[in-house]
Structure 1
């Protein structure tokens, strides 16, 4: 397993618009720490305004020249269950741009996000106020079956675009989203039913829900996990912390991944940090020890 890093962890806000050679500089910072792989991200705005064929080619060429292999291009969009046909068409058009950008950079996977139930007001967990009851505020007439079918149709269309460009496709399943648990992920994989469609697994998202990532890996299997985001969580008040600083047992996670035949990367993902070099190095050092069986 290669140790990779996500480029969006080096900006104050992960969805920041790239400027000039900002991603080139970030790639160099990532490689200088010792990472071997890299994931990139694009919003609809970035795909429209920044990621030309030339800029994407240059980014991929620079990454490989310094020994950093591009792996995943994440399309930062969660409108996949919106029933509005115009909105859906715009999401698909930008997904096509994301797939083209992934190819131009040299990524092997194009990934996107799992949304909230459509129309639900945002779900927020407030650990400082445990007496506040947690729930969605669902719109009148909400129909889960219709919501799920809309999402599946969108993902199938996205997958067809990805395959047309010679890519595999994955989705990342956030806490509070319509697909947040291993068994919901299995249902998703069963309904899409294509070996080129898989899960971008995030250990933090599982631990934050008090779900064991090691067990989840055995549930999903190595062939359908396409990428693993390694960021830690203390399951109480802190998420998005370096591997080794929370309660995730990455030695057990790595052993489970090996046993199920996982072939992808371990991608360190740390967002909103004021010192990305320090915390990414901290995570990298911990994962190296875990991979070597020394922790």
Structure 2
């Protein structure tokens, strides 16, 4: 059932909120009043959903009583959970012990997401930022970790572990969405589609986070070439945009964050393509730099305007009212 423009779940990412308070206390261990202060800001910007991005707070590492506290805080601000996003916790990390820990954490995150009433768990294969990335003005200026090419054992391990997480999510009535990210097995549309097809579960799909690829300081395909092949598998969507330029004299690329309507990706066209392909999942608005939450709210309103214009024709094409 296609939602209306106004009730389509569009959540705010929490990328701009640090995992440590100004007093040096981990947000994970902070009183619920600390969580409320952040989530209250999200609600004040007009959001009714939030993507619980685990760079701020890790639901998968909260005991049941604290998860219930979090649920109460969310309810007090009128916020639903569009998704729980597990970031930089690859289940095929080169260190087998770390990979096992990440796998266990992903399964705990599925349980936490179910307890919080989420419909999606989003995961990827990208790894923690390197020291060079942490020092860079923008972390994507420096290369990060990469998955081994032509390594069928590691590929098969990714399929097996993500299939298990997908089955776990499905038992709770949730989807697992795999985030596209450079230099991983989710780094190209062809590889992402192959991975999802080999996992072979209807509730495991792709999060086509095009911004992760468009921002790279190297040649990348046009955004339509990145999106079109994955459209049949899209079940969740992190949206963000970047200005992108290239100097042919020096060979230098230049990218900086942009609002959705101002960057290299035409989200009016991209969203129309996704809707025609049957996309009906939640959306998460992201933005790095400045007032990321404020820009995310502007991006949400932009998306709702597009949905209000595009959805009637999608309904009509499908014979729905």
Q: What TM-score, normalized to structure 1? A: 0.78
Gaps in structure 2 of 5+ consecutive residues: 21-25, 246-253, 311-321
**Cα distance, 1:186 vs. partner?**
0.9
Q: From 8, 11, 15, give the equivalent of 1:9.
A: 15
Equivalent residue, structure 1, for 2:91? 80
CA distance in 2, matches of 1:136, 1:270: 20
CA distance in 1, matches of 2:39, 2:144: 39
1:80·1:115 contact (CA, 8 Å) conserved in 2? Answer: no
> Counterparts of 1:190-205 in structure 2 under 5 Å?
190-205=197-212
> Counterparts of 1:1-295 in structure 2 under 5 Å?
2=8, 4-12=10-18, 17-18=27-28, 19-21=30-32, 22-42=34-54, 46=58, 51-82=62-93, 85-115=96-126, 144-208=151-215, 210-222=220-232, 224-236=233-245, 237-271=254-288, 273-293=289-309
Gaps in structure 1 of 5+ consecutive residues: none
**Cα distance, 1:78 vs. partner?**
3.1
**Cα distance, 1:192 vs. partner?**
0.5
2:59·2:67 contact (CA, 8 Å) conserved in 1? Answer: no
**Cα distance, 1:136 vs. partner?**
8.7
User: SS in structure 1 opposite 2:241?
Assistant: coil
User: SS in structure 1 opposite 2:52?
Assistant: strand
User: SS in structure 1 opposite 2:235?
Assistant: strand
Q: CA RMSD in A?
A: 3.8
CA distance in 1, matches of 2:194, 2:132: 24
Q: Judging changes above 3 Å, is the alpha-carbon distance between structure 1 residues 248 and 221 closer, same or farther for their aligned structure 2 residues?
A: closer
User: SS in structure 2 opposite 1:211?
Assistant: coil
Deviates more, 1:276-285 or 1:247-256: 276-285
Q: Judging changes above 3 Å, is the alpha-carbon distance between structure 1 residues 100 and 83 closer, same or farther for their aligned structure 2 residues?
A: same
Deviates more, 1:30-39 or 1:157-166: 157-166
CA distance in 1, matches of 2:133, 2:36: 36
Q: What TM-score, normalized to structure 2? A: 0.73
